[in-house]
Amino acid sequence: MGDVMRITSPIFIAFHYSALIINIFVSASSALAEEATWWDRAREGDAGQYWIKTDLPPDDIRELARHLNFMYDAMAARLGRLPQRQPERLNVLIFQERDDYLATLMERYSVDARFTGGVFFVRGDESALAIWTENLPRQRVLNVLQHEAFHQFAFSRFGGNLPIWVNEGLAEFFGEAVLVGRDLIIGQTSERTLERVRESIEDGSHVPFRDMVNVSSEQWRAAMAAGRGRVQYDQAWSMVQFLIYGENGRYRPAFEQYLWLLNEGVTSEQAFMRAFETDDVEAFEQRWLAYAREARPSSFLTAMQRIEFLAEGALELSRRGQSPGSLSDLREALREIEFTYTFSTHGMVTVLEADDDELYVIPKDDLARQQPVFDVVPPRLRRPSRREQMLEEQHPTPPTIATQHLRPRGISVQWTRDRDDGTFTYEILVR
């Protein structure tokens, strides 16, 4: 039926694409006064497959445009042979500030985007992917961008016929991918997500497999409103992982067939029974349960998530005039101030607490030859000027945070001091 979701390796897929041509981004309006709306102030232009409207600086536009086009190639390699069911309108709105994001989507499209880091929406003949970047780590921005980019791509292939569980499960699958050079690291699993899935299984709060396959968008939203959203997203991702990788890829061809049938307009339950050649969904559920209980976390993705927590903690300590010089010192300092890091995804809040010992370690997976670890050391500072000495006293440079023995690549935190107020921002780099 076609080469859909063909994954040659559970870790790497390399894509090569032509040099991205980005047309000069021009202002949508000559209204440059401060009171002008975001729509008037933002620039717009074509970038490869996409039309982008944004108020980001040119370097940031180029980076995100290249990333979007790389992800488009990655998704097209897996789903591109599916016939299009809707026009492919690849419109993207990228906002610097969250307030502009909320106001523009509500006023122009009647989209309530509160509690979201990004959305893909359809309003009549108009549709767009929208995200905001204000004060977010770059990797978080990329994860949201990738998640919503899948929804946008999938809409052109399935219209409204892609069941929400597989729509969100695949969006999470692509959203957690990490681009390293020309390698897309996919199929990663984090300890936090795996543990939540296992907990839902053990306490009986997981969604029965048959119910998940048939869940409607209205039922999904109702569960979200009732506080069960995290269970749904985690389980949808876990089920997709199982159908792609479970039992050494045994179910991958049937999953590809399932997607083709959905593309042709077959209902979810009928497509599932035809593709997997069984109506015994409960037996299928037992295989998924065994897979979910035994799944192991991936070193790379887990390290990526935990180094963000460490960076946020080091940033808070710098604001308080502290710069720990080792991982143990950083851990104790964060516990002393009872540090917590709170973030929201898909409207669901996650709180990480300094007392959690797991946040300071990296699990070892099959890629690692040695146990990967976080390395925290004092920063190397050149001889500072008098002003730099004063800034260092007020806001000391945070420690150098990096990984050792992590495969396929190492991760580090790059600090940048603001020239005006002396405070820091950071970026997570893949080495």
Mean model confidence pLDDT for the chain: 88
Confidence of residue 23 (pLDDT cuts 50, 70, 90): low
Q: What is the pLDDT of residues 147-177, one digit of tens each?
A: 999 999 999 999 988 999 999 999 999 998 8
pLDDT at 381 (0 to 100): 80
How far, CA to CA in Å, does 43 sit from each of 27, 64, 145, 251, 269? 4, 15, 19, 45, 45
For the cut 50, the answer to whether the pLDDT of residue 307 exceeds it is yes
* More confident call, 208 vs 2: 208
Rounded to an integer, the average pLDDT of 48-52 is: 95
Percent of the chain clearing pLDDT 70 (strictly above): 91
H/E run at residue 93: strand 91-95
pLDDT at 3 (0 to 100): 29
Q: What is the pLDDT of residues 230-262, one digit of tens each?
A: 899 999 999 999 999 999 999 999 999 999 999
Confidence of residue 25 (pLDDT cuts 50, 70, 90): low
Structure tokens at 303: 């390290």
Of 72-76, 377-381, 389-393, the poorest mean pLDDT is in 389-393
Q: What is the pLDDT of residues 132-145, one digit of tens each?
A: 999 888 888 999 99
* More confident call, 390 vs 321: 321
Every domain of the chain and the residues it spans: 12-159, 191-294, 299-430
Rounded to an integer, the average pLDDT of 1-18 is: 36
Q: Which residue has the tokens 């101030």?
A: 337
For the cut 60, the answer to whether the pLDDT of residue 427 exceeds it is yes
Q: Which amino acid is at 44?
A: E
Q: Tally Cβ neighbours within 10 Å of residue 283.
A: 10
For the cut 90, the answer to whether the pLDDT of residue 348 exceeds it is no
Q: What is the pLDDT of residues 52-86, one digit of tens each?
A: 999 999 999 999 999 999 999 999 988 888 999 99
Q: Which amino acid is at 339?
A: F
For the cut 70, the answer to whether the pLDDT of residue 327 exceeds it is yes
Rounded to an integer, the average pLDDT of 278-294 is: 92
Query: What is the distance between the alpha carbons of residues 147 and 156, in angstroms, rounded to a whole number?
Result: 15
Q: Residue 418: what are its φ and ψ, rounded to 5°?
A: -70, 130
The closest of 88, 91, 85, 102 to 68, measured between CA atoms, is: 91
Quick one: 12-159 is in which CATH superfamily? Collagenase ColT, N-terminal domain (3.40.30.160)
Is this prediction's pTM over 0.85?
A: no
pLDDT at 19 (0 to 100): 47
For the cut 70, the answer to whether the pLDDT of residue 4 exceeds it is no
Rounded to an integer, the average pLDDT of 115-121 is: 92
Query: What is the distance between the alpha carbons of residues 52 and 83, in angstroms, rounded to a whole number?
Result: 25
Kindly give the residue spans of alpha helices, DSSP state H, lying in 320-418: 327-336, 386-394
pLDDT at 112 (0 to 100): 94
Confidence of residue 393 (pLDDT cuts 50, 70, 90): confident
Structure tokens at 314: 């080091």
Exposure string over 294-326, b if 16+ CB within 10 A, otherwise e: ebebbbbbbbbbbbbbbbbbbbbbbeeebbbee
